Structure 1
Amino acid sequence: MTTRSRATTVATHGAMILLVLTAVVPVYWMIVTAFRPEIEIFSLRLLPQQPTLENFAFVLTAIPMLKMLGNTFVMAAATALAQILTGLFAAYALTCWRFPGGKVVQSLIALSWLVPFQVTMIPNYVLSTKLGLLNTTTGLVLPNAAAAFAVLVLVNAMKSFPRQVIEAARMDDAGHWRILWEIIVPNLRPAIASLGVLAFISAWNEYFWPLLLIRKIEDSVVQIGLQMFMTQEGNQWGPLMAAATLASLPVFGLYLVLHRQVIDSFMKSGLK
């Protein structure tokens, strides 16, 4: 190995270590701060001198944290599932069917991705009010049940699927439903898993739409609960970090379960 290649390797590994620290240190500090007593909140020690569970106990009594975690999980899981289903149907139609204006439809779907949700938030709120969906999980899920990002990801995944396999299935009198669920979907598990994780995290972190739609704290989501520890008088850093730690656990758990499929999908698609 030449000196130049060694320098390149060292620089690459140094940059990777720096990126890892940038991602891990805030999470570590959040967890550590959650276990600090109030007198140690602003301490720079790597570990608390007197670890305590008081912040977690305060969070569980100050707000219905467990109920909010359950509401958020149901909402995020239903949103991710709905986006996967609608994305699969749309992607199959765009890749396996030939119809006039197909490319135009795909372009319009891609353009809709550029429209922020805040633009359609008020019309969605008016429609949800007329449909009686205020303070309901259905009202949280329905406006996000279809996503342009999900469609585009699955379109790219299906385009890489061998057309010969689909044609062979058609020659065996397999219908569209059977081709989609018995042939295509089992071979797109990594892409579907990565899309599911991204859709779940996006729905889990949603703040503005639940803030607008939900009126009762017990029916709200965890992101609204976190905001309750941030007041004009000051932030309650210990309880806030404890609540944030609890809110992060389901996302960490989901990634641990599906991390193999996610990494495999990113490697195959070239995403970083």
Structure 2
Amino acid sequence: MTTKSRPPHVAAHAVMLLLSFIALFPVYWMFQTSFRASNEIFSSALWPNAPTLDNYRAVLATMPILGILQNTFLMAATTTLAQVVTGLLAAWALVRWTFPGGRIAHTLIALSWLVPFQVVMIPNYVLATKMGLLDSIAGLVIPNAAAAFTMLVIYNAMRGFPRAVIEAARMDGAGSLRTLMGVVAPNIRAPLASVSILCFISAWNDYFWPLLLIRRVENSVVQIGLQFFMTQEGNDWGLLMAAATLASLPILLIYLVLQRQVVDSFIKSGVR
């Protein structure tokens, strides 16, 4: 039986290796192109003959890339924190308390997940304009401070939490908020970590809302900073690849450090 089952496993691994190569090769090509001189950009060699850091020096000189990365990290971290906190509180309310319209509220939140953000971008833009949030990190964070997906993931994790433990905490005199933060949240760390990683990656890669809100390159995030840079530098692919590498480096480092947690987040974050 083991001998018969081996060929399918070999074929599956071969397909996975092929797909991994297809996914990773563009990243490698971006990286090695960033070290090419302008007269070597269109060479088909897998590595430049004379690697140079000139492209990176030019990017650092012409583009505030470090400030843009700082803006992006601040925006992504703040958005993640806001979404996890609001999702945790909303899920706790739906799981812990029984109130009229609770099922309707849960259904409406779930349905709002199906509405693309592009549908509400214009109303959000009008509101941000009236509140004076244009061209600011706060304007990027506040419309995304709550996410239905985050609430649903945490809600599913809380539903399986033993009610006897919650009742024991209540009998010991713990209030609702203390029970949530001191008993429930520490015991669902894995789902919270998973959804936090997904929220951070999603916020880091966001493009449409920053494109609509940001006006100045020094206030931009990486996606919009690259857009400005592409407009300014045209088809200088060495500079563009160097800028793209610098923009991708933080999220790639996060993935390398938290590889297991990132993979688990995609496996465990399915909404039942």
Q: TM-score, normalised by structure 2?
A: 0.92
Q: Alpha carbons of 1:139 and 1:231: their partners in 2 closer, same or farther (altered >3 Å)?
A: closer
Q: Which residue of 1 aligns with 2:21?
A: 21
Q: In structure 2, what residue type is equivalent to 1:132?
A: G
Q: Which residue of 1 aligns with 2:225?
A: 225
1:87-106 to 2 correspondences below 5 Å: 87-106=87-106
Question: Quick one: percent identity of the two aligned structures?
Answer: 64
Instruction: Confirm or deny: 8 A CA contact 1:67 1:218 kept in the other structure.
Output: yes
- The answer as to 2:55 corresponding to 1:55 is yes
- Partner Cα distance (1:169, 1:266) in 2: 32
Q: In structure 2, what residue type is equivalent to 1:178?
A: R
Q: Secondary structure at the match of 2:52?
A: coil
- Partner Cα distance (1:139, 1:88) in 2: 23
Q: Alpha carbons of 1:70 and 1:2: their partners in 2 closer, same or farther (altered >3 Å)?
A: closer
Q: Which residue of 2 aligns with 1:256?
A: 256
Alpha-carbon shift at residue 123 of structure 1 (Å): 0.9
Q: Which residue of 2 aligns with 1:216?
A: 216
Query: Could you tell which deviates more after superposition, 40-49 or 110-119?
Result: 40-49
Q: Secondary structure at the match of 2:258?
A: helix
Q: Which residue of 2 aligns with 1:168?
A: 168
Per-residue CA deviations over 1:148-174 (Å, capped at 9, x if unaligned) read: 111111111112222222222222222
1:51-200 to 2 correspondences below 5 Å: 51-200=51-200
Q: Secondary structure at the match of 1:83?
A: helix
Q: In structure 1, what residue type is equivalent to 2:259?
A: H
Alpha-carbon shift at residue 85 of structure 1 (Å): 0.6
Query: Could you tell which deviates more after superposition, 232-241 or 243-252?
Result: 232-241
Instruction: Confirm or deny: 8 A CA contact 2:92 2:180 kept in the other structure.
Output: yes
Per-residue CA deviations over 1:24-60 (Å, capped at 9, x if unaligned) read: 2222111111111112222222211111111111111
- Partner Cα distance (2:98, 2:24) in 1: 47
Q: In structure 2, what residue type is equivalent to 1:118?
A: Q
Q: In structure 2, what residue type is equivalent to 1:29?
A: W
Alpha-carbon shift at residue 188 of structure 1 (Å): 1.7
Listed as ranges, the gaps of 5+ residues in structure 1 are: none
Listed as ranges, the gaps of 5+ residues in structure 2 are: none
Per-residue CA deviations over 1:65-102 (Å, capped at 9, x if unaligned) read: 11111111111111111111111111111112111221
Q: In structure 2, what residue type is equivalent to 1:163?
A: R
Q: Which residue of 2 aligns with 1:46?
A: 46
Q: Alpha carbons of 1:83 and 1:54: their partners in 2 closer, same or farther (altered >3 Å)?
A: same
Q: Secondary structure at the match of 2:21?
A: helix
Q: Alpha carbons of 1:10 and 1:265: their partners in 2 closer, same or farther (altered >3 Å)?
A: same
Per-residue CA deviations over 1:101-121 (Å, capped at 9, x if unaligned) read: 212111111111111111111
Instruction: Confirm or deny: 8 A CA contact 1:197 1:254 kept in the other structure.
Output: no
Q: Alpha carbons of 1:35 and 1:232: their partners in 2 closer, same or farther (altered >3 Å)?
A: closer
Q: Alpha carbons of 1:69 and 1:233: their partners in 2 closer, same or farther (altered >3 Å)?
A: closer
Q: In structure 1, what residue type is equivalent to 2:42?
A: F
- Partner Cα distance (1:107, 1:56) in 2: 50
- Report how many aligned residue pairs link the two structures: 271
Instruction: Confirm or deny: 8 A CA contact 2:194 2:269 kept in the other structure.
Output: no
Alpha-carbon shift at residue 232 of structure 1 (Å): 9.9
